[in-house]
Amino acid sequence: MSTLCYTSDGRKTDPFDLDPDDIHLEDIAIRLARIHRWAASVPYTVAEHSVAAAVLVRDAGEDLSIQRWALLHDAAEAWLGDVPAPIKTGLGWTGAYTLSFDSAECDILGAVADRFGLKTDATFSARRYARSAVAVADQTLRAAEERYWFLPETLVDREELAARLDPYGLRIGHEAQARADLFAASGVPDPGPGDRRIADLFLAEALSLGIQ
Does the pLDDT of residue 204 top 90, yes or no?
Answer: yes
Handedness of CA 14, 89, 39, 134 (dihedral sign): negative
Domains and CATH numbers, the chain: 27-145+186-209 (1.10.3210.10)
The β-bridge partners of 125 are none
What is d(CA 3, CA 16) in angstroms, rounded to the nearest whole number?
7
**Mean pLDDT for the chain?**
84
The β-bridge partners of 112 are none
Q: Is 36 helix (H, G, I), strand (E, B) or coil?
A: strand
- Which pLDDT score, from 0 to 100, does residue 61 have? 95
What is d(CA 123, CA 135) in angstroms, rounded to the nearest whole number?
10
What is d(CA 121, CA 191) in angstroms, rounded to the nearest whole number?
36
Q: What values do phi and psi take at 81, rounded to 5?
A: 80, 170
Nearest residue to 45 via CA among 2, 78, 4: 78
Specify the DSSP class assigned to residue 189: P
Specify the DSSP class assigned to residue 12: E
How far CA 173 is from CA of 46, 79, 90, in Å, comes to 17, 29, 35
Of 107-111, 148-152, 184-188, where does mean pLDDT reach its minimum?
A: 184-188
- Which pLDDT score, from 0 to 100, does residue 95 have? 52
Tell me if the pTM is above 0.95.
no
Largest CA-CA distance found in the chain, in angstroms, rounded? 51
Q: What is the pLDDT of residues 57-100, one digit of tens each?
A: 999 999 998 999 999 999 999 999 998 878 777 776 655 555 57
pLDDT bucket at 125, cuts 50 / 70 / 90: low
What is d(CA 136, CA 140) in angstroms, rounded to the nearest whole number?
6
